[in-house]
Amino acid sequence: MCGIRKILLCGSLVVSALLPIRSAMAAGWELVFSDEFIGDQLDRNKWATRFLYSNETMDHFNDEKQRYGDNHVLSDGVLRLVAKKKEGSDLFESAMIRSHRTFYYGYYEARVFLPNANGVWPAFWLEADYDLDGKTWHPPEIDIFEFVINGVEDKANSLHSNVVGPFDPKLYTYVDRSFDLRFKNMYTSYDLNLDWHIAGFVWSPDKISLFWDGKLIYTRKYQWLRKDGQLGPPAHVDLNFAVGGAGWAGRHGIDDTAFPQAFKIDYVRVCQFTESDTGARQCGPGTVTPDPKQFGYTTTINDMAKPTFREVENVAGRRPAAGVAMLGRGEPVRIEVPIELPQDYPSNRLLHVSFFDETTKASLPYTRVKLDSVLKKRPDGTSVAELTLPSISRTGSYTLSARLLSEVPTDAAGKKDLLPAPVACSTAINQPERALSCRLVSLTVH
């Protein structure tokens, strides 16, 4: 029996007994992206092989000597980004990977084997992606590590790690004795390119921390901000193998005779902190993950909300089978395109829909309309763009694709550019989850 002084306590015990018991370790890291590089082909739905800029074709920065192409080799569970000298040129062929997925915050880890030659410049970093309107911003940028050998100032026992932004020693709340704040370099008593190493990095809303083989190297205050002080776009992950550059890696020349060289990557993993029961102590199968009790964080966002194109269920009054619709030659293409829009998404978007001829690789004339003029609500609450497109006069195989365009002011006079806004793709066609356009449905015209 409960005495009068114990009634409140007993009541609380009864209520507690009725509530579900939550594990003390429920909060922790949740694996949201990974590639263990199994097989012999790079997963193009996870990775691009050029930088984001110049319509996602940029193959180098500044005066670097490499040009990025598909110069990677995947075998035995390892991705090798290979750099080699181009015949009859002072340039190098090399490789990089850029994640299609984007993120805010989290724990980033890669197991790597670094190259060994004067002039090498492999890196593991986080770069700002497109904003809601399809614009790019720089800064922000986080360089998890850059490994440079130029034979004089930077040798095989040093590793650079920094952010693009103001530097103040007072921003660092922990610095291992191996890390020199003057150069933002870690220095070791051994060469870093003689064995495999695990680079880990925690990016939280107000600070960042670098780990090397599980050892904390530094923690500093940092915020992911644009030049105007606003939160930057979400980040994608880059791993690239640069060569040369007169200002740093190639300052004292490049040892051409030491190439080809490879930047080897065993895996890449991204975990985000969660308060839910999906949280774990480790990031996937990792063994050196920082303790989430110490390096966890609180945030309301893990990525930028993007419009999502969903599976098309109605083409000319018929339901596609496994993402393929059948049409008669010359038949009008009436289609319903399901779109899931984030809350408060800008209403001034243009919906651009086009056909792609799979045989000739040519794009057919497109349809472009104001999104809000064709958007309807189904009884179940789904938003659907109802369109009637031009008929296709030739038999063959086609793909119907869609994108959303934003009007972005470019000068004070009111001039505007049309930019593709980032979207998410969740249709019956296998493709990158984040893209500037989505393949909606395949069409067989007979």
Q: What is the pLDDT of residues 303-330, one digit of tens each?
A: 999 999 999 999 999 999 999 999 999 9
| Residue 425 near residue 309 (C-beta atoms within 8 A) | yes
Split at pLDDT 50, 70, 90, the class of 4 is very low
Cα(341)–Cα(350) distance, integer angstroms? 14
| Residue 253 near residue 119 (C-beta atoms within 8 A) | yes
Same fold, 28-295 and 308-445: no
28-295, CATH topology level: Jelly Rolls (2.60.120)
If one compares 83 and 6, the residue with the highest pLDDT of the two is: 83
Split at pLDDT 50, 70, 90, the class of 382 is confident
Mode of pairing for the β-strands spanning 47-48 and 308-310: unpaired
Split at pLDDT 50, 70, 90, the class of 137 is very high
Tell me the pLDDT tens digit for each residue of 347-375. Answer: 889 999 999 999 999 998 899 999 999 99
pLDDT (average), residues 195-211:
98
Indicate the domain borders of the chain. 28-295, 308-445
Residue/partner pairs of 291-295 with CB below 8 Å, 24 or more apart: 292/27, 292/28, 292/29, 295/107, 295/202, 295/204, 295/209
**Lowest-pLDDT range of 57-71, 259-273, 320-334:** 320-334
| In 86-163, beta strands by DSSP E | 92-94, 96-99, 106-113, 120-128, 141-146, 158-163
Tell me the pLDDT tens digit for each residue of 411-424. Answer: 777 788 999 999 99
pLDDT at 23 over 50: no
Cα(443)–Cα(446) distance, integer angstroms? 10
pLDDT (average), residues 96-105:
98
Which CATH number, 3.40.50, 2.70.98, 2.60.40, 1.10.287, labels domain 308-445?
2.60.40
Please give the single-letter amino acid code of residue 171.
Answer: L
Q: Looking at residue 240, what is its pLDDT? A: 98
pLDDT at 32 over 80: yes
Q: What percent of the chain has pLDDT over 70?
A: 94
| Residue 238 near residue 96 (C-beta atoms within 8 A) | yes
